[in-house]
């Protein structure tokens, strides 16, 4: 076996490398997780909640090195301070609803019958986490899984190898048993082999469509439940009654934040023709105000993409679109674009749905903008996508947003906001975005199973 290397996008050097576990060592780790799970589930719920919250508090105490490591690993500017706001909010919410959500639902408790529906931990939960929001995406499943009484095995992306180590160190320091939460380094073959061997009771994967397909193939015939969040091509729609400045600021931030490397980032924008010219003008000015540079520089608002190969995909999409008639409105010469991981932002007009940049996930700092004549055209274009994660509608009327949202094939409808996860609402998608859900009370349902009790006295 060869080491897994983490190439830093900041300077192209090998920032970290780890040897993956052998298949035998990986099987032993899962066996320890399974052996430890029953005792963990037998602990009082309040105790599990307290230990999980203490683990997150211990992670917060590591904020300075965590933020620095994130910049080295995947390029996010240090000025944004990591992912602690979302980590803390999601942990607090899920911990707060745990007792009510996991409590048995009593149907009858009489002299003759006691009937109830309980929820029981699944067993061993396997989290395969991505690099773009490496802490947040892990927390989404880790917190409810541990609180519900599961043991957890975490495999992080090679681009963020150190994140799993930080999480494990924090939770172990807080008192979560080492076998109950394990961070492992695995290659693809060993990962798929474990799933194929029914090593886990639930697999949560966040990543590419191809990666999700590999997970499904490995799990075929095992009946192992899968949660798959496979990205998106999320649209924004600006109606004639929209607040133009607010729409530009939020949608462009949704398109460019984290160098566009957001699962629910805005990748295509449809604007009512009466606002189109003004929107485009303001969007170009917004993009030109970004500062592309070293993520450790306090002035930097746009860091490098996480890997040179990710930037190459975006450059290829832009070049193909321009060759097909699209018009780029941003001059890369204004930015410190090095032809590698440091990629200038781009706004494209004269685009259409024959272009890859409007149909395939870009996952970079590029957005295409199209005019539309009415709601019907916008809805048709928003639905003309293989993905369905979120859609952002800009209007001043709740009922209009809800009526349009009801016609869009997606997991979340936003009105006058974008690129945000509300822990009280289910995070889910449809079509090639995947299946399953996290957060909200349904997030606990993903990591537990129902168990019915029908008890009769005679």
Residues annotated as catalytic (active site), given as ranges: 229, 263
Per-residue pLDDT, averaged over 59-75, amounts to 98
**Residue 256, pLDDT above cutoff 90:** yes
**For helices 45-60 and 84-102, angle between their N-to-C axes, nearest 10 degrees:** 180
Integer CA distances (angstroms), 410 to 141, 234, 338, 355, in order: 21, 9, 36, 21
Percent share of the chain, pLDDT over 90:
100
pLDDT band at 231 (very low <50, low <70, confident <90, very high): confident
pLDDT computed for residue 437 by the predictor: 94
Q: What is the dihedral of CA 149, 155, 161, 167, to 10 degrees?
A: 0
Helix, strand, coil % in the chain, rounded to nearest 5 = 45, 20, 35
Contacts of 218 (CB under 8 A, 6+ apart): 191, 192, 193, 195, 196
Q: For residue 393, which of 201, 240, 209 has the smallest C-alpha distance?
A: 240
pLDDT band at 247 (very low <50, low <70, confident <90, very high): very high
pLDDT computed for residue 75 by the predictor: 98
Q: How far apart are CA 316 and CA 313, in angstroms?
A: 5
- The DSSP-derived string for 150-182 is -EEEEE--GGGHHHHHHHHHHHHHHT--TTTEE
**Strand residue runs (E) in 308-446:** 327-328, 346-349, 366-372, 387-388, 390-394, 412-415, 427-428, 430-431, 434-435, 437-438
Look up residue 288 and give its two tokens.
């030109």
Q: Express each pLDDT in 295-320 by its tens digit.
A: 999 999 999 999 999 999 999 999 99
pLDDT band at 29 (very low <50, low <70, confident <90, very high): very high
**For helices 45-60 and 161-174, angle between their N-to-C axes, nearest 10 degrees:** 130
**Residue 218, pLDDT above cutoff 90:** yes
Q: How far apart are CA 434 and CA 452, in angstroms?
A: 29
| Radius of gyration of the chain measured on its C-alpha atoms | 23
Q: Express each pLDDT in 375-417 by its tens digit.
A: 999 999 999 999 999 999 999 999 999 999 999 999 999 999 9
pLDDT computed for residue 339 by the predictor: 97
Task: Report pTM.
Answer: 0.97
Q: How far apart are CA 134 and CA 142, in angstroms?
A: 12
pLDDT computed for residue 262 by the predictor: 97
* Domains in the chain, CATH or no CATH each: 4-230+433-456 (3.40.605.10), 234-423 (3.40.309.10)
pLDDT band at 1 (very low <50, low <70, confident <90, very high): confident
Three-class secondary structure of residue 115 per DSSP: strand
Q: How far apart are CA 454 and CA 227, in angstroms?
A: 30
Per-residue pLDDT, averaged over 130-147, amounts to 98
Compute how many other C-beta atoms are within 10 angstroms of the C-beta atom of residue 55: 25
Q: Express each pLDDT in 9-23 by its tens digit.
A: 999 999 999 999 999
Three-class secondary structure of residue 436 per DSSP: coil
Sheet of 366-372: strand order equals: 327-328, 346-349, 366-372, 266-272, 234-238, 390-394, 412-415
pLDDT band at 25 (very low <50, low <70, confident <90, very high): very high
Contacts of 42 (CB under 8 A, 6+ apart): none
Q: How far apart are CA 136 and CA 456, in angstroms?
A: 45
Q: Express each pLDDT in 144-187 by its tens digit.
A: 999 999 999 999 999 999 999 999 999 999 999 999 999 999 99
What value does the mean pLDDT of the chain take?
98
Q: Express each pLDDT in 407-453 by its tens digit.
A: 999 999 999 999 999 999 999 999 999 999 999 999 999 999 999 99
Kindly provide the b/e burial profile for residues 194-220, where b requires at least 16 CB atoms within 10 angstroms of the residue's own CB: bbeeebbbbbbbbbebebbebbbebbe
First vs last C-alpha separation in the chain: 63
């Amino acid at each position: 076996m060869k080491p897994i290397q983490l190439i830093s996008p900041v300077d192209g050097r090998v920032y970290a490398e780890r040897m993956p576990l052998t298949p035998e060592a990986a099987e032993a780790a899962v066996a320890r997780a399974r052996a430890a799970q029953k005792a963990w589930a037998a602990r009082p719920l309040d105790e599990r909640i307290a230990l999980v919250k203490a683990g997150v508090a211990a992670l917060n105490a590591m904020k300075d090195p965590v933020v620095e490591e994130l910049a080295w690993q995947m390029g996010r500017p240090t000025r944004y301070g990591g992912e602690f706001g979302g980590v803390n909010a999601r942990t607090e919410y899920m911990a707060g609803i745990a007792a009510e959500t996991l409590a048995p639902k009593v149907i009858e408790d009489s002299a003759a019958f006691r009937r109830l529906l309980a929820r029981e931990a699944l067993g061993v939960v396997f989290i395969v986490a991505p690099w773009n929001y490496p802490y947040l995406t892990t927390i989404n499943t880790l917190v409810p899984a541990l609180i519900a009484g599961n043991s957890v095995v975490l495999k992080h992306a090679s681009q963020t190898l150190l994140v799993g180590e930080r999480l494990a160190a924090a939770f172990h320091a807080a008192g979560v048993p080492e076998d109950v939460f394990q961070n492992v380094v695995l290659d693809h073959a060993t990962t798929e082999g474990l799933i194929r061997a029914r090593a886990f009771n639930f697999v949560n994967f966040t990543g590419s469509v191809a990666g999700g397909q590999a997970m499904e193939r490995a799990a075929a015939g095992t009946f192992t439940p899968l949660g798959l969040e496979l990205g998106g091509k999320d649209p924004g729609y600006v109606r004639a009654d929209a607040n133009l400045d607010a729409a530009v600021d939020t949608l462009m931030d949704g398109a460019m934040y984290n160098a566009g490397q957001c699962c629910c980032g805005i990748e295509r924008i449809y604007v009512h023709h009466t606002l189109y010219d003004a929107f485009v003008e303001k969007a170009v000015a917004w993009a030109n105000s970004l500062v592309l540079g070293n993520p450790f520089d306090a002035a930097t608002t746009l860091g490098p993409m996480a890997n040179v190969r990710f930037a190459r995909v975006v450059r290829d999409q832009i070049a193909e679109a321009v060759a097909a008639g699209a018009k780029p409105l941003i001059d890369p010469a204004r930015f410190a674009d090095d032809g590698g991981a440091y990629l200038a932002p781009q706004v494209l007009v004269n685009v259409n749905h024959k272009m890859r940049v409007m149909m395939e996930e870009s996952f970079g700092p590029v957005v295409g903008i199209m005019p539309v004549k009415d709601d019907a055209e916008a809805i048709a274009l928003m639905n003309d996508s293989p993905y369905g994660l979120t859609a952002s509608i800009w209007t001043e009327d709740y009922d209009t947003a809800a009526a349009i949202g009801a016609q869009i094939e997606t997991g979340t409808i936003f009105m006058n906001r974008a690129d945000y996860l509300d822990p009280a609402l289910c995070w889910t998608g449809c079509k090639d975005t995947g299946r399953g859900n996290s957060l909200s009370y349904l997030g606990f349902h993903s990591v537990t199973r129902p168990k019915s009790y029908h008890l009769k006295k005679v």
